[in-house]
Amino acid sequence: AQSVTQLGSHVSVSEGALVLLRCNYSSSVPPYLFWYVQYPNQGLQLLLKYTTGATLVKGINGFEAEFKKSETSFHLTKPSAHMSDAAEYFCAVVKAAGNKLTFGGGTRVLVKP
């Protein structure tokens, strides 16, 4: 069985500071990994994904994530937080060629002026 753990259900950062959201996964086979963002009362939007190839993945809105197989991690970062980054972020994993996507518990980001 696969699972996803996001460390910290709430994260508060100052505008302009580094955003770091942690995601660790367990999977019996190499996974595909995703980060999604959800703004209030909206659906999910894909930020970035890792399937194969380069382990540092760049996404939209200045976010990036690095797949580290040895650490079973896929942490999300953004060098400089903006007020518009305030949202909830979800990490997700699916087995390559599988169909069951498993989500982490989500991390709510608060950006302080």
**Least Cβ distance, residue 15 to other proteins (angstroms):** 26
Q: What is the largest CA-CA distance in the chain?
A: 43
**Least Cβ distance, residue 56 to other proteins (angstroms):** 18
Q: Which is nearer to other proteins, 8 or 16 (CB)?
A: 8
Contacting residues toward other proteins, per CB under 8 A: 6, 9, 32, 34, 36, 41-46, 49, 51, 90, 92, 94, 97, 99-106
**Least Cβ distance, residue 9 to other proteins (angstroms):** 6
**Distance spanning both ends of the chain, measured CA to CA:** 41
